[in-house]
Structures are given as structure tokens and as C-alpha cells.
Amino acid sequence: MTNPLLSHWNTPFELAPFDTITDEDFEPAFEQALSAHKAEIDAIAQSGEPASFANTIEALEQAGVGLDKVLSVFFTVAGADSNPAREALQRAFSPKLAAHSAEISSNKDLFERIASVWAARDSLGLSQEQQRVLMLTHRGFVRGGAALEGAQDARMKDIKGRLAVLGTDFTQNLLADERAWFMELSESDLEGLPAFAVDAARAAGEEKGAAGPVVTLSRSIIVPFLQFSPRRDLRETAFRAWEARGANGGETDNRAIAGEILALREERAKLLGYDSFAAFKLETEMAKTPEAVRDLLMAVWAPAKAQAESDAEVLVQMMQADGVNGPLEPWDWRYYAEKRRKAEHDLDEAALKPYLQLDRMIEASFACATRLFGLQFKALDVPLYHEDCRAWEVTRDGQHVAVFIGDYFARGSKRSGAWCSAMRSQAKFPEVQAPVVINVCNFAKGEPALLSYDDARTLFHEFGHALHQMLSNVTYESISGTSVARDFVELPSQLYEHWLEVPEVLAEFATHAETGAAMPAAMLEKVLGAANFDQGFATVEYVASALVDLAFHDGVAPADPMVKQAEVLAQLGMPRAIRMRHATPQFAHVFAGDGYSSGYYSYMWSEVMDADAFAAFEEAGGAFDPEMAKALEENILSSGGSVDAEELYLRFRGRLPGVEALLKGRGLVAV
């Protein structure tokens, strides 16, 4: 019987035939596709023809299509719908993929051909995009260790292989801890919880096979519990379990793994001649240096901390009025902040949530894309990997643009967080290839599913990434869509969040789940007025995480990351009732792979730009100004990594932004 992963997909839009793929198909398909890619690389490296852009750089672009096809399906289901078989396969594939990547980047014959094309680049008559692909290919090989020899070359391969194993272990340990813990609630324990939180707890209890409702460590369940439960003892129990993920001792403890990862990253950077891993990593980003990152974060830290400390004083008074003495604790902050929000803005999340139906917010995100970029969305009836998933065909002027898949609900088989990935990226070489893009979120189920305002913002954020993929219009896949500098990739996603706050968007799509009535004007005003509420807390927990990440990688790797984390937080004067958004043992952004290592700051770097970019719309004809939308698509969304990120922003805005727009956007005053 033919392995569906290795066959031509005679399906609508050549989507993966999820209804015919089984877990038993992955390993043989992976091995065959990996072997085929090795043969393709060898053929390029051993070619008897003089090296040219076509037979070397473009040949590399074409190589590995079969492997990409297998892995795009596997990593989609491994991240969003894992099971023991898939977790075992992930542990088996990771070191093999790392070894394969290391073999390619250290292939001397291949690098010699790339270097030959690079040396002759000025005489080859290359287009601007081809020059960019050549530069990135050459730079990638150099940074991958292609110029290393002998023992150093062998050691680099070992380091890459070990890091791949450790990153997989870190992810699976975190998932195991999140999946294993839950707290059963009696009917009386539900007192004070709004209906949506009760419904989510009951649904979670059913999934866990418990006798009744439960609190799990899914953010969409535990955060509302911490916001609304008047039971301080239960809030403390839940919070401590949430904080302990990856640090419970035993087989799933991530602390030693984090330490080994940091040591190996430092060694890798030193092998390549850099002073630190941060110096190595940031060289290719907009920020360029650790010093530039630290300057940005500290410019925001001071006003954020001042705001948080001022807010804490108010929350302590509220707590004391409840007869609770002693210091404000992390399990108290969200509860009293929610009470304060209700009092000061007369905004009750339980009353707000029925107006933020998942389906209506999806419609809103689509409608904004229609008005801005002329995109149309039509539901598709196609097999997908889980019953919760849904798909749409995306068109413009009757022409197919992309397929968009949404997987929105939390479940035990899905890793936490939210992300966007391309199961197939846009390209025109060697033939036109339309993207297949997926957004994965972790919202609580319900009938209908209701979102918090933060959830709705997450939905818009991930759809901003999806637009970056779908509107990509480049020739080569390696620079398509979100293949850009890490501190630039969050610009389109964070910028798109702003359209959720456009009053006319909420007025049209924020309709009550039961009555269908539009959100009352007074509530809409309160929602927008409270948009910056508790930004001291949100900014402090984020910036603390980013500064710890930077400290881990800027200099000698710490012998004990937990000690280093404590030192950094002490130096910052971290408010005692606020924790890092991601403590080290659960900091998957940084330790599941090195995508965001030394790079967690990038959300804020991009936010400096997104605040300034949305201001450009407001300065023009408003949020849906057609000329600004055209400029955004042409200069940023369609360009992928074909041009340096700084140049793309300059083309769009005419200048680079300062931190002022960000502070204003967060309602913080410079100190």
C-alpha cells in the first residue's frame, strides 16, 4: 500500500490527506524523504559543472521538498494533537534532523561551491532578490559552522545534535506537567466564577475523566480562575502548580536541561568566534547587539515598574478591606485587579465575554482583511487532523491566494500557547506555490465558545502572522512570508491587533451570544477605555522574562539558571507579587528551540514599530485608509525576507520609530 505522505496529494488545493495518514506512516516516510534529501545535497555538492547560482543556490532551494512535505504534517500534529506515538517519533526524529542539518552545513564541497558563487556575485547579473538569497545562504552556512575544520567541526555537529534532543525533552516535559495536574472542584468551589469559567471547568473535567469540574494548567482556564475565584486558598494551590511546571523534580524537571542548553549555546558561539551566544544571535536581527536590546528593555522597565508598584498599593488596600492581612501575593493580583477593573471602569469580564464569541471574532478578523487587502474567505469541507479544526479558501479578485486552517480550542494533546505556521509556504520557484497557513490557539470550549478580550487579541495577533504568510509575493521559499528577522516578525501580528480596538469593528462584530444585540455603546467605550488597564503588571512580567533571557545568553552561561534568574530579578527590584511571564523551567520560547533565545525581547522591539505603524494609518485616513493598506502590503507583508527589515520599515514609514509611541500605547509615562 502506498504511503500517503510520499504520494502526490490529489486533494483540494493539494492539502494533506489527513483522513488517510496514520502514525505508522510517519517513520518510513521520514526515512525515505531524509535519504532522498541527502542524495539531492550530494548531487549538488559533487556536481562536475562549475558552480553557478542556478546549479547551486537554486538547486538548494528545490532540494528537500519531499522532506518538508512529511515534516510539515508531522510537526503540525505533534504540536497540536500529540499522543505517545507522536511524542516517541519526535524524540527519534529530532537528533536525526539535527545531524542531517549539521552534515549539510559542514559539507565542505557544498560550501566551496556556495563560496565560489558568493565570490563572483557582482558579475552574475543577479536580481535584487537573488542577491539577497545568495547572501542569506552564504551567511547561513558560515554561521552554521561550514568554515570549521577537524575537531571543531565534529564538536559543532555534536552540539547541534544534543541541543535538538534537549529542546524536544524540554517541550515534552512541559506538556507532561501541564497534562498531569488538575484540581477537582466541588460545586461550592465554583462560587464567584462566571458562567463561562464554570462551563470551561466542567468541559475540562469531562476531558480529564474526573467526577466533576476541574481547574487545569491551560492558560484559558487557570487565568479566569485566578481572576474570579474568591477562594484564596484554591487560587494559591492553582498558582503554585502553574508556577511549578517543569520544576517538579523527577523525569519531567527542566532545570538541568535549561542549564545544559545554555552551556552548549555558549560553546557553539565561541566555536564561531563570538564573545557570547547573544552576540552571535543578535548579529542578524534589527537590534544587532545585546546593548541595544538592554537599552530598549530598560527604557520600558522603569515606567512599567513604577506603574506596577503604584497599582500594587491600591490592590493591597482592597485586600485589607476584605480582611486579608499580609503582603499581596501573585495569586492575589489578578483577583483584585479584576475587582478594580470592574469598579473603576465598570467593566465586568463576565458581562463582556458573551459579546466576544469566537465565531464572530473570526468573522471580524476576516472582515478587516477584506477591507484592507481585498481578501475573501470561503469555508472548506476537507479532512483535517482534528475535529476541532476548520478551513477556508482565501481568494482575491476571484483568484486563489491561500488555504487558512484554524485550530482554536485547548485540549490535553496540544502544547500551550498560540502559534502560526505554514504547512506550505508561498513561492514562485520552481513553480507557483500557494500557501497553506494554520493558526493554533488554546481557547476554552463552550456553546458557544466565548473569548476574553486577551483571547480576542491573541486571535487577531496570530491572524496577523497568517496574513504575512498569505500575502507573501516573492520568488524563493527561503525568504517567503515570516522568514524575516526575529525582531521584525512580530510587527505584522502585533500591528493587526490594533484593528480589534477600532470602534466600528467591535460595534459590528461584538454581538451578544444569546440576544444577538450589538455591544452597548457604553460598554464599548469602557472596553476601549480599559485597554491599558493593568499595563504595569503586563509589562513588568514580560520585560522581566526578556531581561532574564538576555542575561542567560550575554556572557558566560550560568552554572545554575535558577540562581541567575533570581539574581537578575533581584537587581531589577522585581515586585514581589508579580512573577516572570515565563519562568525558566517553562520558558519554551527560549528552550524548546533557539528561535527566541536572546530574542524574547523581539515582541517589544516590534511593538515600537507597530505602535508607530498604526499611527501612520490614524494620521492618514483612519484605520482602513486604502493607501496605507496598500503601502503596508507592498512594503512589508508581501516582501518576506527579500529586503533587510530596517529598509522595509523605512520604505513604509520613511523613518524609524522611537520608544515614545510604545509607552503612549501602553499608557505608561516615561520616568
Please give the grid coordinates belonging to residue 536. 504595569
Please tell me what DSSP assigns to residue 587. Answer: -
Secondary structure class of 140 (helix, strand, coil): helix
How many other CB atoms are found less than 10 A from the CB of residue 118? Answer: 19
Per-residue 3-state assignment (H helix, E strand, C coil) for 543-590: HHHHHHHHHHHCCCCCCCHHHHHHHHHHHHCCCCCCCCCCCHHHCHHH
The set of residues, in sequence order, having a beta carbon less than 8 Å from that of 69 and lying 6+ positions away, is: 5, 33
The set of residues, in sequence order, having a beta carbon less than 8 Å from that of 148 and lying 6+ positions away, is: 106, 156, 271, 272
| CA dist list (Å): 436 to 60, 373, 396 | 22, 18, 15
462 annotated active-site: yes
Q: What residue has cell string 510517519?
A: 26
How many other CB atoms are found less than 10 A from the CB of residue 150? Answer: 7
How many Å apart are CA 627 and CA 646, to the nearest integer? 21
How many Å apart are CA 567 and CA 575, to the nearest integer? 14
| CA dist list (Å): 542 to 138, 271, 548, 579 | 35, 31, 10, 9
Secondary structure class of 59 (helix, strand, coil): helix
How many Å apart are CA 180 and CA 200, to the nearest integer? 18
- Name the residue among 147, 1, 140 with its Cα closest to residue 57: 140
Residue 95 contacts residue 165 (beta carbons within 8 Å): yes
Please give the grid coordinates belonging to residue 365. 478578523
Active-site pick, 285, 349, 462, 490: 462
Instruction: Give the alpha-carbon dihedral of 76, 78, 83, 86, to 10 degrees.
Output: 120
Q: Cite the active site residues.
A: 462
